[in-house]
Amino acid sequence: MRLAFTLLPDGRLPRVVLVTDGLETRGSAAAALETAQRFGVPIHYEDFTDVARPQELMVTELTVPDEIRPKVPFTATVKVRTTAAMAARCELLIDGILEKGEDVELERGENTVTVEATVKAGGEKKIAATCAPKDAANDRFASNNRFEIPVKVPERPKLLYVEGERSYAKNLAAAFSDDFDVEYRGARGVPGSMADAGQFDLIFISDVPRTGDMGYENMTTTQMRVLDQYARAGGGLVFAGGENSFGPGGYTQTYLERQVLPVWLDVQRKQDIPGVALMLVIDRSGSMTGPKIELAKQAAIATLNVLQPNDKLGIIAFDSRPSELVKLQRASNRYKITDSVSKLRSGGGTNVFAALDQAYNELVPEQAKVKHIILLTDGQSNRAGILELVSRSFEDKITISTVAVGMGADQELLKRIAEEGRGRYYFTNDAQNIPQLFLKETSEVSRRALVEDRFRPRVDPRFRHLQIFRGLDMAQAPTLIGYVSTRAKPRAEVIMTSHLGEPLLARWRLGLGKVVVWTSDVKNRWSHYWLSWGGYAKFWRQLVRDTMRVETEDPSYTMVADVADGKLTVGVDAVDDEDKFIEGVTSDVKVTGPDGEEIPVPLVQTAAGRYEGTVELDKYGPYTVRGKHVPGNDPDATHQSFATVAWPFPPEHLVGDPDLTEVKRLADATGGLKDPTPAQLFDVGDAHSEHRVPMWPLPLYAALGLLVADVLLRRVRLYGKTQIAWREVRGR
C-alpha cells in the first residue's frame, strides 16, 4: 500500500483497491491506515472468500523434546494444515535418512501427526518432517511440504568404571549399560594422564585400595593429581566406598583426601583415644639380609599409610636381642617414623620371645580400642615362654598376628601364636608379598572406621529436588548394612546421612566439575537390599547424569534467535551467578545456514547485559547459531552459547483461509467499499481535489529571458557598419 500511495498522481481523486486474502506476512497495515487517512485515500477491497482456490497442504511446525538422547526414543510432533480433507504420506528424516514414514488421513484445517523416532548417535542433527498429498493435484506449492529444524543431541556419555574387585562390577553394569558407554577396569585402571582421563565424561571408582597385590600402588600421587585436574576441567568423579576404600584403603593424608574429596577420612573420636595401637615386630637376623629387609621396610611404610593420624605405631626390630626402632607414637609423625624405618639393618640371630615381650610391655598401658602385634620372621627361635606370653597378652586384650617368610620359618610355632593370640596367620614363600600381607593385616585391624549397622538413609530436605531423586520415593528405599565413617569438609553438600548423622552421600564442586562420595558400597556386602530394590538402577543413573561432564551452553549467556521479515535477530542476555549484568562482553557469533555457509553476526550492546545483532537471510531452511563470549572483566574466560531457528519456506506459501477482518477495518476507516464497481470507483460525486500549483517559476523564467535580451542588445550591433577596415586598425 505504501508503494501505491507514492504512485497516485497529483490533481486526481485518489483511489486504492486491495485484492488480498488478508493474511499479512510482513509490514503493518495500521501504519498504512494512518497514511491513507492523512492524505484522504479511500481503500476499497475485493471479497473473494467464496471463490474456489487451489487445494494446498503445508507443514507449519515441527517440535521435538528439548532433550534428545542417543538410542532413547522420542516423539516428534508435526503440525500440518490443509485446505481440504486429503490422504497424505508423512515422513520423518534425520540427517536426510528416512527414520519413519506413515500414511495419514488429514482433515481440512489443522492436523497433528506424531512420530516416534530414535537418534542413534550424538552430535548436531537435522530433523525434517515432510508431508505430501497422495494426489499431486491437491498441492499447489511443494516448498511448504517440508519443515526442517537443527537440534543438538549430546553424545552418548562415556564412563570409566574402576572396580576394586572386578567380579562385583556386574552389580552396576545393568544400570549403566542402557544409558552410557562404559569401560570397565580393575583396581589398577585409574587414569595416569589427562589424555586418558579426558576421554570420559565421568570416572566411577569403587572400593579401590591405595596399595594392591604385590605391594603395587593402585593410585599414585600422580594419578590423584590427574583426577584433580580432570575434575577442575569439568569432569565428574564418583567415589564409592567399601572395606578397602577411603581411610581403611590407605588414603588418609594423601593428595586425594586433601585436594579432591569433599570429606575428611580421619575419624575424630571423643577424649582423643586412638583407635589402634599397633606394634610391628620385625626379624632383622642375618637370614633377612638383602631384598627381605628392604621389603620389610616397605611393609612398615605401607602399614603407616593405612593408619589414621590418631592411631599409634611402634616398631621393634630383633635378632638375638630386641631393639626399639620406633617408639610407640602417633601415626601423624609420619616423617619421623619413616626416617627411623630407613635405618633398619639386618644381622644376628633370632629371639622371638624377647621381642614379643617388649612389644607386649609397650601395649599394656595403652588406652586404644584395638591393641595388636604383627610378628614377621623367616627363621627358627627358642619356643620357651612364647605361648605363655601370648596367653597373657590375650588376657590383656592384645591380639597377635604372624607372617612366616620362606620354608625356613617355624610355621608350626607361628600358627600357634596366631591361633592363641586371636590373630591371623600368613605364609609366603615370596618376599615380594611382605608389603601386601602387612597392608592386608593392618587394614583388617583398622576397620574401626567401618560402621556395620543396619540403617535407613536420610535425605536432607534441602536436596530432595535434585535430579538424583527424581521419580524415587527415598522414604521407601531399603536399608543399608554399613558404610565408611568420614567427616564433611566445610564447603561440601551432605545430601544423605547415616543414622549417626555422618555423610553417606556428599559432593562439592571442584573447578568446573563435581566430585561425589558415596560412603557405603555398591556390592552385596552393605548394599545387599539395595541390589534388589526397583529404584537401584535409576538412582545410580540419575546420580551419574547429575555429576558427569555436560557440554552445554553457559547459563550465564542465554542466546535467542528469531526470524522476521527475512532478517535473523540474535539476542544475548549476560547475567552472572549473582544476577548482575555482565558488561563489556565481546562476542563472536556465527550463523550456519542450510548450505553450511557461516555468516558472522556482529553484536552491539543495547541495554545493561543485553547484546543484539541482525543479519539478512537469503535461503530458506534450518539455521544454527553459535556464540563465544569474553566478558570485559575476565579476558581469559570464554563462554559458549547455542541456539537454533527455522525459516522453512516463504511466508507467502503459508496458505490459509482468507481473513478480511483487518481489510474491512481499513475500508471502514477510510470510506472504502467492498467489491466496488467501476462506476463507483470513477464517480467523483461531490468530492473535489485541491491541487496547489507553484506560480513562482513563470516570473523567474521571464526575468531570465529579459536579462538575456538586454545583454544581447548592449553587446551586439544589429544595424549600420559592422566591420572595421584592417588599415584603420593597423594605422592606429
Q: State the pLDDT at residue 270.
A: 45
Give the pTM. 0.53
Would you place residue 440 in the very low, low, confident or very high pLDDT band (cuts 50, 70, 90)? confident
Tell me the average pLDDT of the chain. 86
Task: Tell the CATH topology of 276-445.
Answer: Rossmann fold (3.40.50)
CATH number of 57-153: 2.60.40.10
Q: Summarize pLDDT for 610-638 with one digit per residue, the tens.
A: 999 999 998 888 999 989 888 887 776 77
User: Residue 541 is placed in which grid cell?
Assistant: 543413573
Q: Summarize pLDDT for 396-417 with one digit per residue, the tens.
A: 999 999 998 888 888 899 999 9
With CA atoms as reference, report the closest residue to 274 among 307, 321, 297: 307
Average of per-residue pLDDT across 506-520:
94
What strand order describes the sheet that includes 604-607?
557-564, 567-574, 610-616, 604-607
Q: Is 60 exposed, middle or buried (0-12, 13-18, 19+ CB in 10 A)?
A: middle
Lowest average pLDDT, out of 325-334, 344-353, 687-696, goes to 687-696
Q: State the pLDDT at residue 604.
A: 93
Q: Summarize pLDDT for 89-119 with one digit per residue, the tens.
A: 999 999 999 999 999 999 998 999 999 999 9
In the chain, which residues fall in CATH 2.60.40.1930? 557-648
In the chain, which residues fall in CATH 3.40.50.410? 276-445
With CA atoms as reference, report the closest residue to 486 among 731, 256, 675, 314: 256
Q: Provide the CB-side half-sphere exposure for 571 (13 A, CA).
A: 9
State the DSSP code for 387.
Answer: H
In the chain, which residues fall in CATH 2.60.40.10? 57-153
Cα 99 to Cα 66, 87, 89, 117, 493: the distances in Å are 19, 20, 14, 7, 44
Q: Summarize pLDDT for 475-490 with one digit per residue, the tens.
A: 999 999 999 989 999 9
Instruction: Look at residue 55 and give its three-state secondary structure.
Output: coil
Place of cell 569438609: 489
Q: Is 380 exposed, middle or buried (0-12, 13-18, 19+ CB in 10 A)?
A: middle
In the chain, which residues fall in CATH 3.40.50.880? 158-268+451-547
The kind and range of the H/E element at 61 are: strand 57-63
Place of cell 580421619: 266
Is residue 265 within 8 A of residue 488, CB to CB? The reply is no
- Cα-flanking dihedrals φ and ψ of residue 530, to 5°? -70, -30
Q: Apex CA 528: angle with CA 527 and CA 531, to 5°?
A: 80
With CA atoms as reference, report the closest residue to 239 among 191, 185, 202: 202
Q: State the pLDDT at residue 258.
A: 93
Is residue 595 within 8 A of residue 619, CB to CB? The reply is yes
Q: Summarize pLDDT for 236-277 with one digit per residue, the tens.
A: 999 999 988 888 887 887 899 999 999 998 765 444 556 789
CA dihedral 71, 77, 80, 86 (to 10 degrees): 70
State the DSSP code for 159.
Answer: E
Amino acid at 119: V
CATH number of 557-648: 2.60.40.1930
726 pLDDT above the threshold of 60:
no
> CB within 8 A of 101, min separation 6: which ones?
89, 90, 91, 92
CATH number of 158-268+451-547: 3.40.50.880
- Distance of alpha carbon 89 from alpha carbon 105, whole angstroms: 9
Q: State the pLDDT at residue 564.
A: 86
- Distance of alpha carbon 254 from alpha carbon 681, whole angstroms: 95
